[in-house]
């Protein structure tokens, strides 16, 4: 059974970098702003395809986060290059919840990437999938 999941990536800051990054690139998780295109590629599971979405981030720490979401973890690394997240949001239009767990990594000044696992519980059932998530600054 495939369950349609409406993505709700509740993030106010994002990702990590490596020692190979050019000197002009500086990680800024927790400080990122702008309009971002978020895309999802399912790598395994039963939830199915998620549509791309556009997210606008301001300078506040949680402006993207829906007030209805609850966070089990939202921790930015000291180098501001990665962010660990564990949050649960209500489903849109039906009863139930979606829990997202993963880590974002800032791979360029305008790009965030990371694997996330979502578990959806609600009508019409339960599904679990892992997605490669990419945030691209527009």
Domain ranges of the chain: 34-137
- Of 122, 135, 137, the C-alpha closest to 40 is 135
Query: pLDDT band at residue 119, thresholds of 50, 70 and 90?
Result: very high
Q: What is the predicted pLDDT for the residue at 95? A: 87
- Of 135, 126, 127, 128, the C-alpha closest to 103 is 135
**Total-model pTM:** 0.75
Q: Give the mean pLDDT of 5-25.
A: 51
- Burial-class residue 52 by CB neighbours within 10 Å (0-12, 13-18, 19+): exposed
């Amino acid at each position: 059974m495939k369950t349609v999941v409406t993505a709700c990536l509740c993030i106010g800051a994002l990702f990590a970098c490596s020692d190979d990054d050019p000197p002009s690139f500086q990680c800024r998780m927790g400080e990122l702003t702008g309009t971002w295109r978020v895309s999802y590629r399912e790598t395994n599971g039963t939830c199915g395809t998620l549509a791309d979405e556009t997210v606008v981030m301001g300078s506040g720490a949680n402006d993207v986060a829906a007030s209805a979401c609850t966070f089990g973890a939202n921790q930015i690394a000291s180098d501001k290059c990665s962010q660990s997240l564990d949050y649960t949001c209500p489903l849109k239009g039906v009863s139930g919840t979606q829990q997202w767990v993963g880590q974002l990594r800032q791979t360029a000044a305008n790009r965030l990437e990371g694997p996330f696992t979502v578990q959806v519980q609600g009508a019409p059932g339960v599904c679990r999938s892992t997605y490669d998530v990419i945030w691209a600054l527009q």
